[in-house]
Amino acid sequence: MTDALHIVCPHCHTTNRVRVDQLGSAPDCGSCKGSLFTGKPLELTVATFDKHLHRSHIPLLVDFWAPWCGPCRSMAPAYAAATAQLEPQLRVAKVDTDAQQALGARYQIRSIPTLALFVGGREVARQPGAMGQADIVRWVQMHLPVQKK
């Protein structure tokens, strides 16, 4: 059914069916009643990453970062601000490569911060280095497939 999307809840990680025309109306999770879009990046772990990657029908933008990384910390406010512009067209997430070393290794993250954009469960673009809010939004929009209206 093309008029509904699967969206994984950022709180309880349950998969929800959401009508496309309801995406912009702040939909809530049918299970935990939390908002499906929080306006801030979602921290993903090894346990939750694949749920958001494979079960959601929307693209997934991931910032691979570490707490000790100066450029990562300086980019964090811009990344958070970009989230407000990019949701609900995609899920914006962060992966702490120190705490989630298996994910960093799986995606061969060699420098941080690194942004990776996933569409349909596949990585479609990668950008190492810190970026400002406008550059993040522009980079994502440049790599997203054209949406059918």
Per the CB < 8 A criterion, the answer to whether 67 and 3 are in contact is: no
72 is an active site residue: yes
Whose CA is closest to 82, among 12, 21, 139? 139
Helix axes 133-143, 70-86, angle to 10 degrees: 60
Active site residue 32: no
Q: Which position among 9, 12, 32, 69 bears the catalytic label?
A: 69
End-to-end CA distance of the chain: 15
Distance CA 141, CA 127 (A): 13
Strand partners for 125: 117
Q: Which residues are catalytic?
A: 69, 72
